[in-house]
Amino acid sequence: MPILRPLAAKEVKMDRIKQFATTLLCLLVLFVLIFFANIEAQKEIPNTPLLKTEEEVVLPPKELFIETWDLIKKNYWDNDLNEQNWAHWKKKYLQKIKTEEDAYVAINSMLASLNDPYSKFLSSEEFKEQNNSIDSKIYGIGINIASVSGKIYIINVIKGAPAELGGLRPGDMILKINGNNVNGDNVYQTASYIKGNLNSFVDLEILRDNKRLTKKIKRAEIKIKTVESEIIDKEIGYIRIVSFISSEGPIEFIDALNKVKDTNALILDLRGNTGGLFQNAVFVANMFLDKGDIVKVIGRGGHNSFYRAEEKEYTYDKPLVVLVDGESASASEIVSAALKDNGRAMIVGTKTFGKGVVQKVYPMPNSMGMNLTIARYLTPNGNDIDKKGIEPNYKVEITKDDFEKNNDSQLNFAKNMLKNKIERSKLAGTH
């Protein structure tokens, strides 16, 4: 059965669709690698490999600091390094570094001076956790959370996960995690309290129906699909992309799209999706566009690269609504902006997070890693959304009352919009 309505109107079997998805993804990955290689070819790159070898590289603290200093100097997207003399950091710290902890403090101080929250040095544990996320391995309790007026709510509980078995429900307000009051915290801070070592416990205090409840839940490996789909109201497809970080994301997306292929319209839910792999975002946007720009990437020294919709045998061309909120960031914003600027979809919800920069992951010696901003991007219309976000076509907020009553006002708005569009199409077809 065809996943989409082919331009030639012929049937395409599922294995052919997956083959197409895999081929397109490989091309996109190759394009990304070539783009970054072109940027780096203009500079002197150290001989130290950026990928781990079988024999792990271990460096003394001073050499770890020097290598990191040099990598930032040569690869950070801003040539001026936030208008500072980078040599200052070597003079300040090099002779003071005795231990790995000293190097860690010095490196973090350098990165902090860039005033860039996305460029981070990762300890061995943090780097391992990030790699696990790319492999869709998460150690936690299996909930999705959102911030509403400074309050943290559970918006989804994964079936069979420790959270569900422990009695947590959508709509629960989280008050404390392991004794830490999360009132006023953002989603990222709250999530850091929930994540932890496999088989360890997390203590939560929640508010439900004006009653305070405590839950002690054991962390486990959460095996998640990053893409979920269902059919709602018989004729509207619904696809939720939890994250763009999984290497399996494109194949999962194709499977999800295939399941809703016979509906008359689609809702793409990117709420709470904080981003992930750049090529996954380009892949998803491309599935809805038969022409036009997807994103413009500006690298170090002003090197530009345009990512455009690729010619393909089929494109999903039915009515489309994209749901976003304040936690929709990075890759989610690439997709949302591409579909909005090209007039392909209506965006419903609240203003997105506003992350318009691209990071590269550098494996470092001593089993450590670094996320470094190497480029920024503009939407197809040339808009810089960093720290600004994307304004929806229709602003619809979810209130505290909506959460407590488990009423998804944004989803309901999208459904009504598409139902009206479908009805108008049916009426037009009768004449």
Is 137 among the residues known to form the active site? Answer: no
Using CA atoms, how far residue 120 sits from 116, 126, 360, 365, in Å, is 9, 10, 11, 15
Q: Which residues pair with 372 in a beta bridge?
A: 360
Q: Which of 296, 318, 340, 355 is catalytic?
A: 355
Among residues 182, 175, 184, the alpha carbon closest in space to that of 205 is found at: 175
Pairing of strands 320-324, 265-269: parallel
Is 330 among the residues known to form the active site? Answer: yes
Q: Are 120 and 111 in contact (CB under 8 A)?
A: yes
Q: Which of 119, 136, 330, 332 is catalytic?
A: 330
Q: Which of 318, 341, 360, 408 is catalytic?
A: 341
Q: Are 89 and 109 in contact (CB under 8 A)?
A: yes
Q: Which residues pair with 121 in a beta bridge?
A: 370
Using CA atoms, how far residue 173 sits from 13, 188, 208, in Å, is 45, 16, 7
Is 355 among the residues known to form the active site? Answer: yes
Active-site positions read 330, 341, 355
